[in-house]
Structure 1
């Protein structure tokens, strides 16, 4: 029963991340939904606790990669794309100094 809750949590997290990452992109939202659902459906008969835990870990890793590394790009003109990073992807910009003595 505990595994079932973990599976449902990671399933829900993946879909929530999908909606955040692919906001306003119907095609990507649909494709991601189909892929997530397909992968979970494909393995719904799995009974091995070890394999279930491995798949939960893999799904969690995928969710993290999507959330942290995928940046949405929007075509605004011919040969011009505007990037739309999410708030959690923005980091404080610290300038690089070649000569550390100048600090």
Structure 2
């Protein structure tokens, strides 16, 4: 996962260009790992996500603007977080039933909601 502090890159020198290249590759790999985990056992979704990730990176690989690169890195990082934290698989079992398949990292302890009882105020 990319640290938010590392999202701002500078194109000043060859070292910076190498840093940018490394950050882009890390994010590319992270998106693909997340894709494989989120869409596990769903070949259509796996392939569609693979194609979309590859297409977006391919379309922007010649980008040289520092500002645009930072913007694209931020978007890709946000997409990775959303995929990892918000997407859940569902399977149709019958014509009217869907079974959700949550990943272990999405499960959280449920704390029941309970309003505190309030005392009646006497007028």
Smaller-chain TM-score bracket: over 0.9
Greater Rg by CA? 2
In structure 2, stretches of 5+ residues that fail to align are 1-17, 119-123
Q: Compute the RMSD of aligned alpha carbons.
A: 1.1
Offset, 1:100: 4.7
Aligned residues: 101
Bigger share in helix: 1
Which residue number in structure 2 is paired with residue 29 of structure 1? 46
Give the stretch that moved more between structures: 90-99 or 21-30. Answer: 90-99
Q: Which of 86, 97, 101 is equivalent to 2:114? A: 97
TM-score w.r.t. the length of structure 2 is 0.78
TM-score w.r.t. the length of structure 1 is 0.93
Q: 1:90 to 1:100 in 2, by over 3 A?
A: farther
Structure 1 runs (4+) greater than 4 angstroms displaced:
none
Greater RCO (CA < 8 Å, at least 6 residues apart)? 1
- Distance (Å, rounded) in 1 between the aligned partners of 2:116 and 2:79: 39
In structure 1, stretches of 5+ residues that fail to align are none
Q: 1:100 to 1:89 in 2, by over 3 A?
A: farther
